[in-house]
Amino acid sequence: MIPDPVLPAGEPAAGFAGFGLRDELLQALDASGYRHPSPVQAQAIPLLLQRRDLIAQAQTGTGKTAAFALPCLHSLDAGQRCCQVLVLTPTRELALQVAKSFARYGEQLPQVRVLPIYGGSDFRPQIQGLRRGAQVVVGTPGRIMDHMRQGTLNLDGLRGLVLDEADEMLRMGFIEDVTWIMERTPPERQLMLFSATMPPEVRQLSGRFLQNPAEVTVATSKADTQRIRQQLLMVHASQKLRALVQVLDMEASEATMVFVRTKQATVEVATALDGHGYRCAALNGDVAQSQREQVIERLRSGRVDVVVATDVAARGIDVERIAMVINYDVPLDTEAYVHRIGRTGRAGRQGRALLLATPRERRLVQAIERANGQQLEVMEFPDADTINRRQRQRFKERILGALNGADVPAFERLVQELSAEKGLPVERIAAALAQLVQGTKPFAWSAEEPVLSLNPRRQTRPLAAHMERYRIEVGWKHRVKPGNIVGALANQAGIRGQSIGRIHIFDEHSTVDLPKDLPDDLFATLRTMRVVSKPLRIRKLETSAV
């Protein structure tokens, strides 16, 4: 076994080589393009090489996996096939991610095997992997406990135990399971606890099991803060879906994570975005593990651009192309906000986080700002003309970027043939092709749709004396526009356009002002009408209602 060197804490002058790590690890780091340790790596690696127990507080995306993986791999005895390092993670996704990191860093080490173990997958391959021998096991607490109880995972030779994202394991109710596992590990093993935040319960756990631990705290640096632009958009609850789509239309992000509170919301929001032409997927606790892994891989490869997820389902997602995080629902605790925005701004890239909040959620926003140590930048939402100009410019750039494609000459001939055969102008054919490319995603926003504001009632004019307000059960979610409503009222009910008052379109319903004292037969006709294939289900409102 290679002895563990005693090194002073602090960043070595020679980068990773200054730590005294094995040559095989340095070769793997060099092949991966890693030259200089991050702050958490610079502080933690020397301490762990001294075999110290460690408490490290560091955010997701700071390089904490390498901070514990490299010392653990350095100390492995490849000649022993037993489990020497056990890493506990809160989710299957994080277990897979950490296992891949161990395998990548240790790819030059002979006979070192890394095995991820998690629930929702077949027991048999895991048992076979354990029998073949795995020096590093990474898994979720529940499945690790199952293998320990069945005798398929023996920890007698354990040298290092890592708790990764300990605060998340607390939030997800795994602390009792973690305690059960820790009680059954050899007393001489090294303990490493990594957490983005440090709740009292995590402190109590460390105080019970860690022996004279060193502590490392990596504060969010100014550079880290600058990499993630954090913004706030105040909207009424009925405007959130429309605000979300307009933000996505306005921004040219590579990929976006949208966070909601409930499983049902993941499906509803993802379905709505899909209807507006976005390549979208939902992630929640009901999604099977195999499907979840497919979604993450599609997001990584660019086949999915928007993932709508709950906090728990999003744990462990590490995809560099996520350029934006949108908090569709304000998180109920500040720790969740920290974990959410950590999905963007990875690997030194610029990131952006947007919080959609209603007036009633001001206190939650203020709590996030206090915990974050900074005020969120208030986003001024642009008007329809600004959004449309940005969309047109991006579409032009897409066209120009495709001009050098290998098949462009063949398509030119096709367009010329079609123009000659049908007598169509080339411009009209080009417009039709652009429509095919755009698909169902809105290309132009109507200026007559209500603009976003803090309180939509402020933009609503008082009812005229001769008018009454009605609610109809079609809204922006159904892609209805004011013209659809006016056309239906005029063509199906015979109400003249001049007699139709203000129309307000919300996410799931709309309001329309109509003349007072409508005849019974006309109102009966209105009750049977449909707009954009949806029944109106019209009813009269009180003046103040929406």
Cα separation, 544 vs 42, in Å, equals: 61
Q: Is the pLDDT of residue 54 over 90?
A: yes
Number of domains in the chain: 4
Q: Which helix (H) or strand (E) holds 377?
A: strand 377-378
Q: Is the pLDDT of residue 117 over 50?
A: yes
What are the pLDDT digits (tens) for 176-232? Answer: 999 999 999 999 999 999 998 888 999 999 999 999 999 998 865 444 555 788 999
Q: What is the mean pLDDT of residues 40-46?
A: 94
Cα separation, 441 vs 439, in Å, equals: 6
Return the pLDDT at 379: 86
Q: 86, 140 in Cβ contact below 8 A? A: no
Q: 489, 495 in Cβ contact below 8 A? A: yes
DSSP assigned state of 457: G
Between 33 and 461, residue with greater pLDDT = 33
What are the pLDDT digits (tens) for 344-380? Answer: 877 667 789 999 998 888 888 988 888 777 889 988 7
- Chain-centroid distance, C-alpha 210: 33
Return the pLDDT at 362: 86
If asked whether residues 533 and 478 sit together in one domain, one would say: yes
Q: Is the pLDDT of residue 26 over 90?
A: yes
Return the pLDDT at 2: 32
Cα separation, 323 vs 209, in Å, equals: 39
pLDDT band per the 50, 70, 90 thresholds, residue 148: very high
Residue 19 structural domain = 15-217
Q: Would you say residue 4 lies in a domain? A: no
Q: Which residue has the tokens 């092949």?
A: 31
Q: Would you say residue 293 lies in a domain? A: yes
pLDDT band per the 50, 70, 90 thresholds, residue 116: very high
DSSP assigned state of 447: T
Cα separation, 89 vs 315, in Å, equals: 10
What are the pLDDT digits (tens) for 428-478? Answer: 888 888 888 776 566 666 654 443 333 333 344 556 677 888 999 988 778
Last residue of a domain, one of 381, 401, 417: 381
Q: What is the mean pLDDT of residues 505-514?
A: 85
If asked whether residues 464 and 335 sit together in one domain, one would say: no
Q: Would you say residue 6 lies in a domain? A: no
Return the pLDDT at 440: 59
Cα separation, 195 vs 56, in Å, equals: 6
Q: Which residue has the tokens 């492995």?
A: 76
Q: What is the mean pLDDT of residues 260-267?
A: 90
List the single range of 1-5, 300-304, 398-402, 444-448 with lowest mean pLDDT: 1-5
Residue type, 217: T
75: domain CATH number? 3.40.50.300
Return the pLDDT at 463: 64
If asked whether residues 132 and 281 sit together in one domain, one would say: no
If asked whether residues 193 and 135 sit together in one domain, one would say: yes
Q: What is the mean pLDDT of residues 7-34?
A: 75
pLDDT band per the 50, 70, 90 thresholds, residue 545: very low
453: left (phi over 0), alpha (psi -120 to 50) or beta: beta
What are the pLDDT digits (tens) for 118-145? Answer: 987 889 999 999 999 999 999 999 999 9
Return the pLDDT at 459: 42
Question: Measuring CA to CA, how many Å separate 349 from each of 116, 228, 236, 411, 454?
Answer: 28, 9, 32, 37, 32
Q: Which helix (H) or strand (E) holds 46?
A: helix 39-49
Q: What is the mean pLDDT of residues 46-57?
A: 95
Q: Would you say residue 452 lies in a domain? A: no
If asked whether residues 312 and 389 sit together in one domain, one would say: no
List the single range of 93-97, 125-129, 254-258, 279-283 with lowest mean pLDDT: 93-97
Return the pLDDT at 347: 62
Q: What is the mean pLDDT of residues 303-307?
A: 93
Return the pLDDT at 22: 93
Q: Would you say residue 454 lies in a domain? A: no
If asked whether residues 230 and 207 sit together in one domain, one would say: no
Q: 224, 347 in Cβ contact below 8 A? A: no
Q: Is the pLDDT of residue 79 over 90?
A: no
Strand order in the sheet with 467-472: 503-505, 510-515, 467-472, 539-540
Q: Would you say residue 545 lies in a domain? A: no
Q: What is the mean pLDDT of residues 500-513?
A: 85
Q: What is the mean pLDDT of residues 152-178?
A: 92
If asked whether residues 100 and 36 sit together in one domain, one would say: yes
The helix/strand/coil state of 98 is helix
Which residues are CB-neighbours of 476 under 8 A, at least 6 positions away?
A: 241, 242, 449, 505, 506, 507, 508
Q: 3-state DSSP helix/strand/coil percent for the chain, to nearest 5?
A: 45, 15, 40
If asked whether residues 149 and 55 sit together in one domain, one would say: yes
Return the pLDDT at 144: 97
Q: Would you say residue 449 lies in a domain? A: no
If asked whether residues 270 and 329 sit together in one domain, one would say: yes
Q: Round the average pLDDT of the chain to a whole number and report it.
A: 84
469: domain CATH number? 3.30.70.330
Q: Which helix (H) or strand (E) holds 191?
A: strand 190-195
Q: Would you say residue 1 lies in a domain? A: no
Kindly state the tokens that stand for 228: 């993630």
What sign does the dihedral 178-180-183-189 (CA atoms) show? negative
Q: Is the pLDDT of residue 38 over 60?
A: yes
Last residue of a domain, one of 164, 183, 217: 217
Closest CA to 21 of 83, 78, 86, 67: 67
If asked whether residues 118 and 182 sit together in one domain, one would say: yes
Q: Is the pLDDT of residue 102 over 60?
A: yes
Q: What is the mean pLDDT of residues 331-343?
A: 80
Closest CA to 61 of 316, 377, 372, 352: 316
Last residue of a domain, one of 199, 217, 235: 217
If asked whether residues 62 and 131 sit together in one domain, one would say: yes
What are the pLDDT digits (tens) for 379-432? Answer: 877 677 777 787 787 778 778 878 888 888 888 888 888 888 888 888 888 888
If asked whether residues 151 and 208 sit together in one domain, one would say: yes
